[in-house]
A and B are shown apart, each in its own frame.
Chain A
Amino acid sequence: MTEEKLEKPTIEDFSREITRMLGGETITYCYQCGTCASSCPVAKTTDRYNPRQIIRMALLGQRYEVLNGDSIWLCASCYNCQERCPQKVEIADVIYALRNMAIREGNIPALYAEFANGLMSEGRLAPISKFLEKKRSDYGLPPLKPTGVEALKKIFSATGFDKIFFKKGEQP
């Protein structure tokens, strides 16, 4: 991230926009102590994710970089950071808020698009493999019943989920 890339003049606008999102209300409390980053199991394994830095960038108004990067999608939602934050920033929820903003702008990572497809077509996030079916019967569990996809579709259209996820008639 270089200085030229600092977008102007959205500093206030972007952080305000986030505080209006569900889960994003507490972002402005952050005083950059780094407790979240050093608590984070993901940050321990990769340089690509640092919750403190995401919040920093968001507060400085780097909207494009935050919403288009892959960083926000790496949170594992363990809530360690949120538990320990001395300023009660709901960090994991802020990340969710950012993800929602990203999705509304069409920035959907392939994996999440797959999840959505699965929901729309089979009513499940993950497809049921032969392997899984066998395992279930090995354990004496009944086979999984098909889910009510029609009901889900109604919910998606009522909430606008389908429109957010499937632009330009991409529906499966």
Chain B
Amino acid sequence: MEEAKVGVFLSDCGGQISKILDFEALAEFVKKVDGVTFVARSSEFWRGQGLKTITDAVKSGKINRAVVAENVPKISEIVIAKAVEEAGLNPHLVEVLDLKDHCAWPHRDAPSEATEKAKAMLLAAIEKAKLLEPIDKAEFPTVKSVLVIGGGIAGMQAAEDLAEMGFQVHLIEKEPFLGGLAAKAGRFFPTDDCAICIQSPTVDLKTVTHTSRKCVYRSGFSEIPNLNVLTNSKVVKVEGVPGNFKVTLERRPRYVSEEKCVACDLCTSVCPVEVPDDYNAKLSTRKAIYVNKPLVYPAAYVIDEKACKFHECAKCVEVCPAKAIDLDQKTEYVTLNVGSIIVATGFREYNPNVIKEYHYSEYPDVITHLELARMLDAFGPTKGMIVKPSNGKPAKRIVFVQCVGSRDRRWNPYCSSICCMISLKHATLIKTAHPDADVTICYIDIRTTGREHEYYYEKARELGVKFVKGRPAEILHDPATNTLIVEVEDELLRRLLELETDLVVLATAMVPSEETKKLAEILGLELDQDGFFKEYNAKLRPTETKRRGIFLCGGATFPKDAPTASLHAHSAAVKAAKFIMQGKIVKDLKTAVVNEDYCGNCQFCPVTCPYGAITLEPKENKHFVAHVSELLCEGCGICVGTCPVGAIELRHLKQDQIAAQMRALLSVNGTPKPLILAISCSECGNAAVDSSGMAMMNYPANVRVLRVPCTGIVQVRHILEAFKAGAQGVMVVGCKPDGCHYEVGSQKAKKKVELAKMLLNAYGIEPERLEMFNLVYIEGDKFAEAAKNMTEKVEKLGVLQLA
């Protein structure tokens, strides 16, 4: 390798920090450092003339490494790297340090001490720069195609967005028809419009205006170019890498050709088999060949495999004028190649069977909201009439019971969030159509937090819906009158009531769709404590997952009302598009590399890696070595911290660079206080150090900060080496344990610190000289305080005597 020629660029922040630090002394100091071939001073180096000074030095060949002391390192680092790259130098050969927030401002009361610390910081940066090696970029191809799993309201909206953006979209649905829960729900709050109404795709040229919305069946949804809808299908296998997944689908036979069927209904008129209609909550029957109404998509009949007698009967085949029925269709396996995947598998109603005292499925007149929704639907089993399923007679008295199986630590501890609104919607629909109906809602708390939601509550009261604050204990049945009795305490009256009623509607919990767990396993996704798909970060990445290229939307993450599901779907579509739109992922290879000579047969790093980036690859003689996926590796270094033999290293922070920086930072003291090394992560830990400086909080200059990508990289030997290099105390500053940017790094560091403390104790070194801190950006004050306290504590312990 060519000899390192380091250029040092000292920015005095428009003269601000040269009032504190002696820049003349700093320039003199760095000039004498071995390997430094160029020194320049300016008021700023990341723009204008200052930046040109750097690029000119690169172009002239005077330097092949740059150390820039700049005061907005987070931005300047990016700008300078880009500029030097254009000038012909690998951008990873630049080291930027912050003399303002990390030195001048927090130590402004002791300028000479600050200057000495600045020397140490510059020396550390120079020593590191000399050891830096160029890092290349790599490209990974992405397929411009997306798989959307789940054809409910969220899946359809995401699929439409992406198809119209020009991506090839495969929308798959496990049921024979699209629509999901929405198709059954009838009406939605807060718009009170049809649940199966969607925005018109732009393909529907005749109606494309800003205001157009249409029923799914006439929206032209299926005609959107690039959209491939596969019903009766589910994912069985996912292989490959983000941007390039190979997905295997299992496609159950429909037995009716979607292309040929003309939906004439002749088949159902001859079909002799009649079974309870699941779609209509078993409140009516249907034939073994059927179509759901209202119609969603596809407009083609389907044969119920469990009910059909197939060739024994085959009457439908005879009458079908379009020759659309094929009773010999078999399950197909389809393989798709997609760049990203959107999971929109939604949620379902919980079966309230488990709550014995409500006698659901024992008393026919105890029903759920979805069953009521089917009754309220004019297409439904009762043509819009509210009846007692036990005898088909009109129900005049209706009691709603809230929080059935939700907010219940026995079943589902969470609040399902939409059931209050569903009850209010249904109660107002009933009261509007039948003002004489007696409607009561038994509630624990009424939660109407969305826009316009409270007005539903208001309207329900206006219409005369009664509200009882109390969760019923039991539902009883009086066989003599065929009425139900709801036992409830009206807490506000402090009186026990027995509400006589014709119908009880249970507002049951909303739980993850069936097979959510299985799909999570196939996709390698995590579920939350309630069994829903877990997003990467609820605040910042609500539609992303830990697995890059896989996104979430709609009720798959939590029960949602339609507006929220819609919003979520559009967000997921943008994220999925962003991920694949370039046709490639370009990435700096700031990743881990394995030294195969040392590595072998241990499982530590594959298990520890939070990104599943490390696998074991077989070599000769049953020998296994770790293999790092350059695409999946995030460059945190947790593997480095875990490796017992030092066989894995980061390209962007090698062990010799850490050691060189440590020695340099501890080489000059210049203060009367004991030297303390703070090993901080580049994320929250360093942000806390930054913010303490930005806010000009004081802490002593004997505290020296060594930045690493994540505290997970810290090994016990790093801590011991720090003491050996002259540190009297060591601080490890990382993210909050549950807020680590690399998932587990901060927790791993905590364990290393505990272990190191035990070892220190065994060596006769006070374990109090070592401490771990978990800080965030807004806790700069806590960093300053920790630095002060640590200094005082170490001062009291006296000078460390190493044998």
**A-B pair number, CB within 8 angstroms:** 60
A69 within 8 A of B: no
Pick from A31, A38, A87, A88: contact of B489, CB below 8 A: A38
A31-B444, A38-B473 known; A86 vs B403 contact (CB < 8 Å): yes
Which A residues are in CB contact (< 8 Å) with B487?
38-39
A117 beta carbon closer than 8 Å to chain B: no
Proximity string of chain A (38-72) to chain B, C-beta cutoff 8 Å, 1 when within and 0 when not:
11000110000010110000000000000000000
Considering the complex, give the chain B residue whose CB is closest to the CB of A80. Answer: B473
The size class of the interface chain A forms with chain B is 20 to 34
- The smallest C-beta distance from A99 to any residue of chain B, in angstroms, reads 23
Q: Inside 8 A of B444's CB, which chain A residues have their CB?
A: 31-34
Secondary structure dominating the interface of A: helix
Of A39, A53, A88, the contact of B473 (CB 8 Å cutoff): A39
Please measure, in the bound complex, the distance between the C-alpha atom of A93 and the C-alpha atom of B494, giving whole angstroms: 23
Q: Quick one: closest A residue to B443, CB to CB?
A: A33
- B residues 487-503 with Cβ under 8 Å of A? 487-489, 491, 494, 496
CB-based contact A86/B496 at 8 Å: no
Of the candidates A33, A50, A52, A88, the one whose C-beta lies within 8 Å of that of B410 is: A88
Does A29 belong to the interface (CB within 8 Å)?
yes
- B250 near A: Cβ within 8 Å? no
Q: Take A31-B444, A84-B473 as given contacts and tell me if A37 and B409 are in contact as well, using a CB distance cutoff of 8 Å.
A: no
Q: Would A86 and B471 count as touching, CB distance under 8 A?
A: yes
Closest residue of B by beta carbon distance from A29: B409
With an 8 A cutoff between CB atoms, is A107 at the interface? no
CB distance from B438 to the nearest CB of A (A): 20
Question: Does A35 interact with chain B (Cβ within 8 Å)?
Answer: yes
Q: Does B780 contact A (CB under 8 A)?
A: no
Residues from chain B with Cβ under 8 Å of A29 in the complex:
409
Given known A-B contacts A43-B496, A52-B489, A53-B494, A34 and B409 have beta carbons under 8 A apart: no
Mask of B436-478 contacts with A, CB within 8 angstroms, 1/0? 0000000011000000000000000000000001111110000
Decide if A35 touches B473 in the complex (CB within 8 Å).
yes
Is the CB–CB distance between B472 and A38 below 8 Å?
Answer: yes
Q: How far is the CA of A84 from the CA of B407 in the complex (A)?
A: 13
Bound together, the chains give a CA A32 to CA B407 distance in angstroms of 12
Contacts of A38 in B (CB 8 A): 470-474, 487-489, 496
Known A-B contacts A33-B444, A86-B408, A86-B410; the reply to A44 vs B473 at CB < 8 A is no
A31, closest chain B residue (CB): B444
Q: Which of B357, B470, B494 contacts A33 (CB 8 A)?
A: B470
Q: CA separation between A35 and B442, bound complex, in Å?
A: 11
| Least CB separation from B405: chain A residue | A86
Q: Chain B residue with minimal CB distance to A26? A: B409
Complex: chain A residue closest to B495, CB-CB: A47
- Asked whether A37 lies within 8 Å of B496 as measured between CB atoms, the reply is yes
Contact B469 A34 (CB under 8 A): yes
B residues near A35, Cβ cutoff 8 Å: 471-473
Which of A29, A37, A86, A88 has most chain B Cβ within 10 Å?
Answer: A86
Cβ A39 vs Cβ B408 within 8 A:
no
A residues with CB within 8 A of B: 29, 31-39, 43-44, 50, 52-53, 80, 84, 86-88
**Can you give 14 contacting A-B residue pairs, CB < 8 Å?**
A31-B407, A33-B471, A34-B469, A34-B488, A35-B471, A35-B472, A37-B491, A38-B474, A38-B496, A39-B474, A39-B487, A86-B403, A88-B409, A88-B410
Q: Which 9 A-B pairs have the closest CB atoms?
A: A38-B473, A39-B473, A86-B408, A33-B471, A34-B470, A34-B489, A37-B489, A38-B489, A33-B444
